[in-house]
């Protein structure tokens, strides 16, 4: 798919932001994978790991302004004064 878009349409479908998002997701996934959780309930464990993943993934994406859509969405719901708006 990449080669088709690049050759036929003369467009670059990926940017450095895409690479950074993938790298961040990979690093956070590895961190979550190696954290030992010893809960008996699998549903609570899945919920906890998913929540930690979303938190650890969204903070760098917001801080480095990878996606302006995500930043504007978060700024819309963040109260003024919690973080300096980027």
For the residues of 12-78, what is the DSSP string, one character each?
A: ----HHHHHHHHHHHHHHHHHHHS----S-HHHHHHHHHHHHHHHHHHHHHHTT--HHHHHHHHHHS
pLDDT at 85 over 60: no
Q: Estimate to the nearest angstrom the gap between the alpha carbon of 34 and the chain centroid.
A: 18
Rounded percentage of the chain residues whose pLDDT exceeds 70: 90
The overall average pLDDT reported for the chain is 82
Amino acid 65: pLDDT: 84
Question: Which of the pair, 44 or 83, is modelled with greater confidence?
Answer: 44
């Amino acid at each position: 798919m990449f080669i088709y878009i690049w050759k036929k349409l003369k467009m670059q479908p990926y940017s450095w932001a895409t690479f950074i998002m993938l790298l961040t997701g990979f690093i956070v996934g590895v961190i979550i994978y190696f954290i030992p959780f010893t809960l008996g309930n699998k549903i609570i464990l899945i919920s906890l790991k998913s929540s930690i993943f979303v938190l650890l993934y969204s903070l760098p994406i917001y801080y480095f302004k990878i996606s302006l859509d995500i930043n504007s969405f978060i700024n819309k719901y963040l109260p003024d004064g919690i973080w300096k708006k980027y």
